[in-house]
Chains A and B, each alone.
Chain A
Amino acid sequence: MANAKSKEKPSSPIGASLQRNDVYEKVTGSAIYVDDLQFGNRLLYAHVLRSPHPHALIKSIDTSKAEKLPGVKVVVTGKDFPERMGLYLKDKTIFALDRVRFIGEPVAAVAAVSEEIAMKACDLIEVEYEILEAVFDAEYGASDKAPLIHPQLGEYYCPNYLFPKPGTNISNHFKIRRGNCEAAWKECAYIVERTFHIPHIQHVPIETHGAIALMDEKGKMTIWASSQSPFAQRNIIAQALHITQTDLRVIAPLVGGGFGSKAGVTMEAIPAALATKCKGWPVKLMLTREEEFFTNFVRQGLTTHVKVGCDKDGNILALKNVMYWDAGASTEYGANVVRAAGYSSSGPYDIPNIETDSICVYTNHPIGGAYRGFGMSELHTGIDQAIDELAEKAGFDKVTFLKKNAISEGDIIVTGMKMHANGIQECIDNVAKSIEFSKKEEPTSPDRVRGKGIAIMWKAPATSPNPGSSAWVELAEDGKVTVGLGGQELGQGTFTVMAQMAAAALGVKYEDVRIAGPIDTQYSPYEWQTVASRLTWSMGNAVRAAAADARRQILDVVAEAWKENPEDLDIVNGVVVSYKSEKETPLANLVIYGLPRENNGGWIGGPIVGRGSFMPQYITNLDLETGQGPRAVVHYTVGCEGLDIEIDKNTGKIHVVKAAASFDVGKAINPELVKGQIEGGFVQGLSSALFEEIRLRNGVMTNPSFVDYRIATAPDVNFPLDVPFVEVPQDDGPWGARGVGEHPMVPTIAALGNAIYNATGIRLDGPPYSAEKVYLAMYDAGLTK
């Protein structure tokens, strides 16, 4: 019975840097993305007529000329689809109804036999507008002087953890009232007050959004989309189109970058709406790069007023944070970004007195949605720079000050919840050591000044209170494993990590596990959304449970056949072994056909299907006035970043000498994938800090192309980045893991701002820290001529 396979030393796939299971397809060009799907000659092409005005009433729409154009199959407008939709606050419709609220808002759409005809037809649609006064500033928008953008706010469906104020432009006002700030200011020896402006930016996935929709004659619809959220799209689009969730199938091939932009529902609903009017004909819409920049989600702008104080011993006593979010024309998703920034508004600091107002304001700007970090980059840009100055004012070394005030296990945090074990102290030490933070270094040229900056962060998965995950595990006759799951591969490597977890939980080799893809809501098990850095933790728990369930079923069958106790059996490298009798049998065949009983007594077992699901059940709502409650979030991932920079005095250009990023990931299931996430996130953060801004003038994005909206290119990243991670286990994470997808871009702006301050003594009021902005500030300060 000796089987060589089981004798090989099993090496655990957990903590192993195994190669991604999608890499061959991706380097050979055979990986399939939504635009690569083929639909044959019946395919219709959609084009969207968009609002040219930031705020106007629609007086009339005449589509008759467009409808008569040869090749046009269908023209739709807002009156055809009046249902409101949204992930959290249902405040938007697929097309504008009686009012447009931002430049680029869909007003009508055409499906035609070619893109050219669809575009021409849109030109023939006549829309009469009555222009309204618009709102381009969040603080003005929140005032009673501003015109109302959503007069019907009070009628919108809203979950009970968001607090809109009907009759205003405020769609959510999240408050923290903890301790007594007024009293605490009097005890502060040092206080810093600062205002920061963080501009709108865009996600810039290299693959723009795209979707194809087809409704059959019986009214069943299939949508193929580049999507982080096939299940949320099924739910939201089904409701908007008045079909059942069962009659809507979403198929999501690989995603060419998402960063939050492909979460929830945006443009996918447009081809779906068109498809309802031309049954049997697939309708395709791909966004152009220009459309991608401002017609879908962007990251909302923020103006934040920060006040923070400490006693003479350097203990931070109080923090006041007033945040006005320029959330755009719809806040269906963004209202929860504002909430997340509110309930995490202390940052990873132990502060007894906190007053926060996180205010979500409708403006006539592009729609703010989920963006990698979900409000945390913007929040930390403010507090981490104010605290940097506070440390200096109080006469403390910055590393000492951060370590002294950082949150630790058992501390009661901003919302009243108790903090769990975390490695923030080690993260700070790692970064300080890596960039030799305490060592003052000379610039490499007399034309340059040099400085170092450091910043810490935290972020919790920001979700609804009960986002679920599920998975199944099946085996084929060859004994190899297929894992069904509903979380999406966006590039982060989740399919690889899930295969590692299934392999470990079942007792097979990583190479013998594949993921059932593409994600298809008709066959894949439910997953809320691929957002919030939650998959490794949440979907990982579901996959681990499903694999463990399959394992238990297999061992029960073998134990019965062998008349042994399942406790004495194990699965090693795909072979069931008994430690008691030393019998062995491979998984092949037994996982489908079972095993024969002795003495011609029939059969035991049958096809093995393991199932698992996971949903956090302990999240509670927070008090409307104080933001206090037992448990606001599932957990926090913490970390630290630092930069050593030089600034050219003649140009203002920033050169990074060295950088470091350290995060507490709980357990790195695949260490090289973790490092890859941290590197990529750091550079996205650095790109946002150095270059990126959606330049808005009267509601118009003036730079919607890669020439005018620059992102980091390879020559910009010509410095070493050290990424030593920390592993303090998460109590309910699979093997102790927690997420780190978003976190690396969260503290980068603040760390760079602190480095600029260290080099020049100048505190800029917000990114991007372009050469021009830095040079002019240095010129004004007399540091350069």
Chain B
Amino acid sequence: MAYQRITLTVNDLTETVDVPQNMTLLQMLRQKLSLTGTKNGCSAGECGACTVLMNGEPVNSCMVLAAECEGATIVTVEGLAKNGKLSKVQEAVAKAGGVQCGFCTPGMMISATALLERNPNPSDDEIRQAIVGNLCRCTGYFRIVNGIKEAAKM
């Protein structure tokens, strides 16, 4: 397998990584950079557990080749809290009880963060649409939606 050397920004750090050409962004984050907060639920772009921000947009990192990320800016769940202080979305969803098993949570945090970046005052329906690609089997979504709504007010 041919390798490619890429340079990109991940959670504000510049990283240079040698990646096989068939390696996904998800695999690179977890295996090469040990950023295991981003989860793999289906490897097929269907569950949203691996959602990260790529140049400010939420993407399923299992559907992006690492080799495509030359020069990209990536934010993973590990990049949301600053100096131990949770982001608004993290704090509000935690407080609202929107976390159970926690496996969808990293992707959910990223999708919600992206939503509030582009729409600081979303309606309930806009919140639900923003996380339509993030499957959660535990919570029934009510408390996640409430948490994101609260985050918008913070």
Contact of B95 among A19, A22, A38, A257 (CB under 8 A): A19
CB distance from A336 to the nearest CB of B (A): 24
Chain B positions 105-154 with a Cβ under 8 Å from a chain A Cβ: 105-106, 109, 124-125, 127-129, 131-145
Contact of A676 among B77, B100, B105, B135 (CB under 8 A): B100
B40 contacts partner chain A, Cβ-Cβ < 8 Å: yes
| Mask: chain A, 291-327; 1 = CB below 8 Å from B; 0 = not | 0000000000000000000000000000000000000
Interface segment out of the listed A89-97, A425-433, A489-497? A489-497
| Interface size of A in residues (CB-CB distance below 8 Å) | 56
B97 partner residues in chain A, CB cutoff 8 A: 20, 672-673, 675-676
Q: Is the CB of A715 within 8 A of B128?
A: yes
Q: Is the CB of A676 within 8 A of B103?
A: no
A183 contacts partner chain B, Cβ-Cβ < 8 Å: no
| Mask: chain A, 34-60; 1 = CB below 8 Å from B; 0 = not | 011010000000000000000000000
A679 contacts partner chain B, Cβ-Cβ < 8 Å: yes
Q: Is the CB of B140 within 8 A of A27?
A: no
A28 with B86, Cβ < 8 A, contacts A706-B135, A714-B132, A718-B125 known: yes
B53 contacts partner chain A, Cβ-Cβ < 8 Å: no
Tell me what chain A mostly uses at the interface: helix, strand, loop, or mixed.
loop
B41 partner residues in chain A, CB cutoff 8 A: 206-208, 256, 289
A29 with B140, Cβ < 8 A, contacts A24-B94, A706-B47 known: no
B78 contacts partner chain A, Cβ-Cβ < 8 Å: yes
Interface segment out of the listed A398-406, A634-642, A680-688, A751-759? A680-688
Q: Is the CB of A491 within 8 A of B42?
A: no
| Mask: chain A, 706-737; 1 = CB below 8 Å from B; 0 = not | 11000111110110010000000000000000
CB distance from A354 to the nearest CB of B (A): 34
Q: Is the CB of B77 within 8 A of A28?
A: yes
A714 with B128, Cβ < 8 A, contacts A30-B37, A289-B41 known: yes
Q: Is the CB of A29 within 8 A of B128?
A: no
What is the bound-complex CA distance between A682 and B39, given in angstroms?
A: 25
CB distance from B38 to the nearest CB of A (A): 7
Q: Is the CB of B43 within 8 A of A22?
A: no
Contact of A684 among B37, B124, B137 (CB under 8 A): B137
B30 partner residues in chain A, CB cutoff 8 A: 35-36
| Mask: chain A, 60-86; 1 = CB below 8 Å from B; 0 = not | 000000000000000000000000000
B143 partner residues in chain A, CB cutoff 8 A: 676, 679
A23 contacts partner chain B, Cβ-Cβ < 8 Å: yes
CB distance from B16 to the nearest CB of A (A): 21
A715 with B103, Cβ < 8 A, contacts A23-B94, A27-B109, A288-B43 known: no
A23 with B49, Cβ < 8 A, contacts A28-B80, A28-B90, A206-B135 known: no
B78 partner residues in chain A, CB cutoff 8 A: 28-30
B33 contacts partner chain A, Cβ-Cβ < 8 Å: no
What is the bound-complex CA distance between A102 and B101, given in angstroms?
A: 31
Count CB-based A-B contacts (< 8 Å): 165
Chain B positions 74-107 with a Cβ under 8 Å from a chain A Cβ: 76-78, 80-81, 86, 90-91, 93-95, 97, 99-106
A26 with B99, Cβ < 8 A, contacts A259-B137, A721-B140 known: yes
A707 partner residues in chain B, CB cutoff 8 A: 46
A493 partner residues in chain B, CB cutoff 8 A: 100
What is the bound-complex CA distance between A544 and B140, given in angstroms?
A: 31
Q: Which residue of B lies closest to A490 (CB)?
A: B101
A705 contacts partner chain B, Cβ-Cβ < 8 Å: yes
A491 partner residues in chain B, CB cutoff 8 A: 100-102, 138
What is the bound-complex CA distance between A707 and B100, given in angstroms?
A: 24
What is the bound-complex CA distance between A256 and B39, given in angstroms?
A: 10
A259 partner residues in chain B, CB cutoff 8 A: 137
| Interface size of B in residues (CB-CB distance below 8 Å) | 56
What is the bound-complex CA distance between A256 and B138, given in angstroms?
A: 9
Q: Is the CB of B141 within 8 A of A683?
A: yes
A681 partner residues in chain B, CB cutoff 8 A: 140
CB distance from B137 to the nearest CB of A (A): 5
A140 contacts partner chain B, Cβ-Cβ < 8 Å: no
What is the bound-complex CA distance between A289 and B100, given in angstroms?
A: 21
| Mask: chain B, 44-77; 1 = CB below 8 Å from A; 0 = not | 1011010000000000000000000000000011
A711 with B86, Cβ < 8 A, contacts A28-B77, A206-B49 known: no
Q: Is the CB of B86 within 8 A of A679?
A: no
What is the bound-complex CA distance between A28 and B77, given in angstroms?
A: 6
Contact of B140 among A28, A255, A672, A680 (CB under 8 A): A680
What is the bound-complex CA distance between A32 and B39, given in angstroms?
A: 11
CB distance from A491 to the nearest CB of B (A): 3
Q: Is the CB of B37 within 8 A of A28?
A: yes
CB distance from B127 to the nearest CB of A (A): 8
Q: Is the CB of A207 within 8 A of B101?
A: yes
A206 with B136, Cβ < 8 A, contacts A714-B144, A717-B142, A721-B142 known: yes
B139 partner residues in chain A, CB cutoff 8 A: 676, 679-680, 683
Contact of A33 among B46, B103, B127 (CB under 8 A): B103
Q: Which residue of A lies closest to B133 (CB)?
A: A713
Q: Is the CB of A38 within 8 A of B103?
A: no
Q: Is the CB of B37 within 8 A of A205?
A: no
What is the bound-complex CA distance between A207 and B99, given in angstroms?
A: 14
Q: Is the CB of B137 within 8 A of A33?
A: no
B36 contacts partner chain A, Cβ-Cβ < 8 Å: yes
B86 partner residues in chain A, CB cutoff 8 A: 24, 27-28
CB distance from A514 to the nearest CB of B (A): 17
Q: Is the CB of A29 within 8 A of B137?
A: no
Q: Is the CB of A256 within 8 A of B101?
A: yes
A204 contacts partner chain B, Cβ-Cβ < 8 Å: yes
What is the bound-complex CA distance between A543 and B29, given in angstroms?
A: 40
What is the bound-complex CA distance between A502 and B126, given in angstroms?
A: 42
A30 partner residues in chain B, CB cutoff 8 A: 37, 78
Q: Is the CB of B100 within 8 A of A207?
A: no
A717 partner residues in chain B, CB cutoff 8 A: 128, 140-142
Contact of B138 among A23, A31, A254, A257 (CB under 8 A): A257
Q: Which residue of A lies closest to B109 (CB)?
A: A27
CB distance from A388 to the nearest CB of B (A): 24
Chain A positions 200-246 with a Cβ under 8 Å from a chain B Cβ: 203-208
B81 partner residues in chain A, CB cutoff 8 A: 28
What is the bound-complex CA distance between A27 and B98, given in angstroms?
A: 10
What is the bound-complex CA distance between A244 and B111, given in angstroms?
A: 47
A26 with B137, Cβ < 8 A, contacts A19-B94, A679-B142 known: no
Q: Which residue of B lies closest to A709 (CB)?
A: B46
Q: Is the CB of B37 within 8 A of A29?
A: yes
B42 partner residues in chain A, CB cutoff 8 A: 289, 705-706
Q: Is the CB of B137 within 8 A of A257?
A: yes
Q: Is the CB of A684 within 8 A of B95?
A: no
What is the bound-complex CA distance between A30 and B102, given in angstroms?
A: 10
A256 partner residues in chain B, CB cutoff 8 A: 39, 41, 101-103
Sample of 22 A–B contacts (CB below 8 Å) = A27-B99, A28-B86, A29-B37, A29-B77, A35-B40, A206-B41, A206-B49, A206-B104, A206-B135, A255-B101, A257-B103, A289-B42, A289-B43, A289-B44, A289-B46, A676-B100, A680-B100, A683-B139, A705-B42, A705-B46, A713-B141, A715-B128
List the interface of chain B (C-beta within 8 A of A).
Answer: 30, 34-44, 46-47, 49, 76-78, 80-81, 86, 90-91, 93-95, 97, 99-106, 109, 124-125, 127-129, 131-145
Q: Which 8 A-B pairs give the minimum distances between C-beta atoms?
A: A29-B37, A491-B101, A256-B103, A683-B140, A26-B102, A491-B100, A29-B77, A706-B46
- Known: A675-B97, A679-B139; 17 extra A-B contacts, CB below 8 A, are A29-B78, A29-B106, A35-B36, A205-B137, A206-B135, A256-B41, A257-B137, A491-B138, A679-B140, A680-B139, A684-B137, A706-B42, A706-B135, A717-B128, A717-B141, A717-B142, A721-B140
